[in-house]
Structure 1
Amino acid sequence: MEALLRVSDTLKAFRETRLSALRPPSEFFDHHRLSRPADMNQATSRISYNTRYFSGNYGLIVAALGVYALLTNPLLLIAMGFLVGGFAAINKFAPEPMQVGEHVVTQKSLYTGLFVIGIPLLWLSSPLSTIFWIVGASGILIVGHASLMEPGIESEYAQVQDSV
């Protein structure tokens, strides 16, 4: 019950901090504000402002790409499910050593078996290439959007508040 309360508090804090920063789709996809930056300084200032302003939307993009990567790599999904499910099952059903025939099975031996099967399965599913794909794809999308999107008029007021 305590774990459920912690998860509930964590989700509430996540919703209050990250999801409150979400901008509406009409603002995020406003094609009237798209333009090519004049030079690298302008692109850098746009990226700096827009990554803060659209941080919730960019986080949602990274999460969506992560879910897409998991769904398109079934072996990785199976390996993650096996490892996470194995940890949960061992913690729930085998907290104490048990006698099976003439052998005593401990949590340590169960974890060893889980790792002996799970780690090679995870290695075959190429998690590093998936992580690099997520980082690369989200980086290109976020930097591309942030550099092409002109900051709104509120960005001028933000610069005035920073200098005061």
Structure 2
Amino acid sequence: MDAVIRVTNTLKSFRETRLSALRPPSEFFDYQRISRPADLNQATSRITYNTKYFSGNYGLIVAVLAVYALITSPLLLISLGFLVGGFAAINRFAPEPMQVGDHVITQKSLYTALFVIGLPLLWWSSPIGTFFWLVGASSVLILGHATVIEPGIESEYATVQDSV
């Protein structure tokens, strides 16, 4: 029961901190504010402002792409499930050494077996390639959006407020 309260409080604090930074879709997808930056300085200033202003939306984009990457890579999902499930099962069901025939099976030997099977399976599922795909896809989407969206009027006041 205590764990349920902890999870509920964690989700509530996550919603208050991260999801409160989400901008409405009408503002995020405002096609009237799309324009090509005049030069590199303007593109850099747009990226700087928009990554702060739309940080919640960009975080959501990264999360959605990460879920998509896991769903479309079943071997990666299986290997991560095997490792996480193995850790949970060993901690829950085998905290003490067990006697099986003439052998004593300890938690250390179970972890060793989990690593011997799980790490090659994880390596074979190419998590590094998935990670770099996630970084590349997120970068292209976020930097592309941040570059072409003109900052609103409030951005002029933000620079005045920063200098005070």
TM tier, shorter chain?
Answer: over 0.9
Task: For residue 23 of structure 1, give the secondary structure of its aligned residue in structure 2.
Answer: coil
Which residue of 1 is the match for residue 158 of structure 2? 158
1:99 deviates by 1.1
Gap regions ≥5 residues in structure 2: none
- Higher mean Cα deviation, 58-67 or 5-14? 5-14
C-alpha separation in 2, matches of 1:23 and 1:80: 33
C-alpha separation in 2, matches of 1:25 and 1:108: 50
Task: For residue 151 of structure 1, give the secondary structure of its aligned residue in structure 2.
Answer: coil
Residue by residue over 1:94-136, the C-alpha shift from the partner in whole angstroms, topping out at 9 and shown as x without a partner, is 1111111121111101000100000000000000000000000
C-alpha separation in 1, matches of 2:111 and 2:3: 22
Which residue of 2 is the match for residue 143 of structure 1? 143
Q: How does 1:4-153 map to 2 (within 5 A)?
A: 4-153=4-153
Gap regions ≥5 residues in structure 1: none
Residue by residue over 1:26-65, the C-alpha shift from the partner in whole angstroms, topping out at 9 and shown as x without a partner, is 1000100000000000000000000000000000000000
Residue by residue over 1:76-97, the C-alpha shift from the partner in whole angstroms, topping out at 9 and shown as x without a partner, is 0000000000000001111111
- TM-score between the two structures when normalised by the length of structure 2: 0.96
Q: Which amino acid aligns with 1:143?
A: L
- TM-score between the two structures when normalised by the length of structure 1: 0.96
Give the superposed CA RMSD. 1.1
